[in-house]
Amino acid sequence: MSGHGPATPMTAHKSNPLSGVAHVPGDKSISHRALILGALAVGETRITGLLEGQDVLDTAKAMRAFGAEVTQHGPGDWSVHGVGVGGFAEPAQVIDCGNSGTGVRLIMGAMATTPIAATFTGDASLNKRPMGRVTDPLALFGAKAYGRSGGRLPLTLIGAAEPVPVRYNLPMPSAQVKSAVLLAGLNAPGETVVIETEATRDHTERMLRGFGAKIRVEDSPEGRLITLTGQPELSAQRVAVPRDPSSAAFPVCAALMVQGSEILVPGVSQNPTRNGVFLTLQEMGADLVLENPREEGGEPVADLRVRFSALQGIEVPPERAASMIDEYPILSALAATAQGKTVMRGIKELRVKESDRIDAMARGLEACGVRIEETEDSLTVYGMEVVPGGATVQTHLDHRIAMSFLCLGMATQAPITVDDASPIITSFPIFKALMTGLGAQISG
């Protein structure tokens, strides 16, 4: 979906207490990976709880273009008949990954060691984002990329005919880059090694192991060392996708901001590479309890019970950034309602997300009457007792910016409008229905 329809403004009004049970959709990262690994496995992979957001639907479509049979059987219930490692066919059409950095980067990795060519594009947001971070390591396997200046999409990738294995030190904390290298390593002979100095989300490693790949993870003086043995036969699996902690953060933070709220968000992944936001909220004084911790589909999950709380601003430990990288927008919104200042450092990666999220949050918060300070890699938000709101905020094709300001608008004096809520379908298509079901007032 590279074409972007008309902008859809949406407005959040001061809300009565939120209450009830919020079933957020399946995890986006795991949904992409289940489709891609299903397409590279032999046999029928069955996926339940798949996120049916546009980003994931675009990946499903791409997997069909590479020769896999992908079928929807019911809500969240999908099957993938894979073509085996190295079995991707050359797509007849351009692969349009829409808004999804994860989709395009992982798929480029998955095809980079198969001798086929594919051309990738996306929407106006994705076509601005850096792809060199993926095509550089893929070139070490022998793949060739021809993109626009700065390695941007649209881009044609020609997979290596005789791939060699790679040893790669990640230059930035990025699970997408790590995953692209590991997926490329699947069809290279010998051992591919990725080293990360900061642990990023580990769904690819977990799932590769689940599909039968030989993968070793060890802590070394260089960092977290991941070794994958190439050319395995992946066997089809049943994948139960847990609910997305990044989506859960929106109703959780909304309940923390709206006086008198109490909600339950069941079955949310508590993978330690993803749960940073919940630790941070607890440090800010949130009444957030993890009930019924258990294991589902190879991931730790829990039910989150959250009650409105008077929060205190804090310094978010920068070493926690990778485990909550997508939650800084909603955390910044929430910080506006906390007492004192919240300092978020070590977040340079936010500048190359669906939008420049430091800039988008800073401008939006200022428009709502909130004082902020911004540097290249940090954002400080000064909380206030009453947040004025009453602004129209630009979302820059970024779903998380849109949802963050809609949640904030539930607690501000005057309503907050986002100029375009349409990107919310990429990750959380039921956002408006779910939030209004809890009692939020959202119009548009």
- Minimum Å distance from CB 134 to ligand S3P? 10
Q: How far apart are CA 80 and CA 72, in angstroms?
A: 9
Please tell me whether residue 349 binds ligand S3P under the rule CB under 6 A: yes
Residues 75-114 that bind ligand S3P (CB under 6 A): 102
In order of 63, 115, 308, the CA distances from 233 in angstroms are 18, 18, 50
Token pair 């953060």 is found at 249
The sheet with strand 392-393 has its strands ordered as 392-393, 416-418, 10-13, 441-443
Contacts (Cβ under 8 Å, ≥6 apart) of 279: 320
Contact, 39 vs 66, CB < 8 A? Answer: yes
**Residue 202 annotated among the catalytic residues of the structure:** no
Q: How far apart are CA 178 and CA 97, in angstroms?
A: 19
Closest to ligand S3P by CB, 205 or 257: 205
Token pair 């980003």 is found at 55
Closest to ligand S3P by CB, 102 or 280: 102
Count of residues of this chain found to bind ligand S3P when the rule CB under 6 A is applied: 10
Choose the binding region for ligand S3P from 139-147, 169-177, 260-268, 285-293 (rule: CB under 6 A).
Answer: 169-177
Contacts (Cβ under 8 Å, ≥6 apart) of 12: 405, 406, 407, 408, 409, 410, 415, 416, 440, 441, 442
Which long-range CB contacts under 8 A does 2-8 form with residues at least 24 apart? 2/96, 2/98, 2/121, 2/122, 2/123, 2/127, 3/123, 4/123, 4/124, 4/397, 4/422, 5/422, 6/422, 7/419, 7/420, 7/422, 8/420, 8/421, 8/422, 8/444
Residues 210-239 that bind ligand S3P (CB under 6 A): none
Annotated catalytic residue within 202, 326, 398, 420: 326
Closest to ligand S3P by CB, 107 or 440: 107
Out of 123, 198, 205, 326, which residue is the one contacting ligand S3P (CB under 6 A)?
326
Choose the binding region for ligand S3P from 91-99, 171-179, 224-232, 430-438 (rule: CB under 6 A).
Answer: 171-179
- Minimum Å distance from CB 245 to ligand S3P? 11
Q: Hey, which residues does 228 pair with through a beta bridge? A: 192, 215
Q: How far apart are CA 150 and CA 152, in angstroms?
A: 5
Please tell me whether residue 368 binds ligand S3P under the rule CB under 6 A: no
- Minimum Å distance from CB 60 to ligand S3P? 15
Binding mask 256-295 for ligand S3P (x = CB under 6 A): ----------------------------------------
Out of 39, 85, 325, 408, which residue is the one contacting ligand S3P (CB under 6 A)?
325
Question: What are the backbone angles phi and psi of residue 395, rounded to the nearest 5°?
Answer: -105, -10
Please tell me whether residue 309 binds ligand S3P under the rule CB under 6 A: no
E strand spans, 187-298:
191-196, 215-220, 223-229, 238-240, 262-269, 287-296
Please tell me whether residue 175 binds ligand S3P under the rule CB under 6 A: yes
Residues 178-197 that bind ligand S3P (CB under 6 A): 179
Please tell me whether residue 29 binds ligand S3P under the rule CB under 6 A: yes
Choose the binding region for ligand S3P from 61-69, 175-183, 282-290, 292-300 (rule: CB under 6 A).
Answer: 175-183
Please tell me whether residue 355 binds ligand S3P under the rule CB under 6 A: no
Choose the binding region for ligand S3P from 174-182, 228-236, 276-284, 403-411 (rule: CB under 6 A).
Answer: 174-182
Contacts (Cβ under 8 Å, ≥6 apart) of 44: 79, 80, 81, 236
Please tell me whether residue 176 binds ligand S3P under the rule CB under 6 A: yes
- Minimum Å distance from CB 101 to ligand S3P? 6
- Minimum Å distance from CB 27 to ligand S3P? 9
Please tell me whether residue 36 binds ligand S3P under the rule CB under 6 A: no
Out of 1, 110, 201, 327, which residue is the one contacting ligand S3P (CB under 6 A)?
201
Q: How far apart are CA 141 and CA 187, in angstroms?
A: 10
Which SS3 state, helix, strand or coil, does residue 444 take? coil
- Minimum Å distance from CB 75 to ligand S3P? 22
Positions touching ligand S3P (CB under 6 A) are 29, 102, 174-176, 179, 201, 325-326, 349
Annotated active-site positions, please?
326
